[in-house]
Amino acid sequence: MSLNPDSTNIPYTLGRLFSVLEDIQSAASPRIKSTIKDQYFNSASFTPGHIFPILLKLSQKHLKKLAVGTRINYEKQIRDLADTLPDVYPSRLSLPQQGSFQLGYYHQTQKRYE
């Protein structure tokens, strides 16, 4: 299976958003050795309500380092994904939901390389 851009599954969309945020960090700091995946992946997939506000705050710092066109592209990706999310992040994800998060992450990441 490949990326499902029409999915309304919240954990899947959060996984996709996590992948976009990781890509922003990598674009802003190409020589970085430890990404948000190394530090936050498990927490983001289990307690997104606690982690995503932190990640989005960090992404704003990374976006400031990018060229305007690149920044606009990433901001659009974030907006498009955020538009499909509820107004509150889930506080916890069950094990099957964590699996959906992981699939969303890996599908979105794979799409970058196609």
User: Are the CB atoms for 19 and 109 separated by under 8 Å?
Assistant: yes
Q: What would you measure as the largest C-alpha separation in the chain, in angstroms?
A: 39
**10-28 and 95-112 helices cross at what angle (nearest 10)?**
40
Query: pLDDT exceeding 90 applies to what percent of the chain?
Result: 96
Secondary structure class of 47 (helix, strand, coil)? coil
pTM for the whole structure: 0.96
Cα separation, 19 vs 105, in Å, equals: 5
Secondary structure class of 87 (helix, strand, coil)? coil
pLDDT tens digit sequence for 53-99: 999 999 999 999 999 999 999 999 999 999 999 999 999 999 999 99
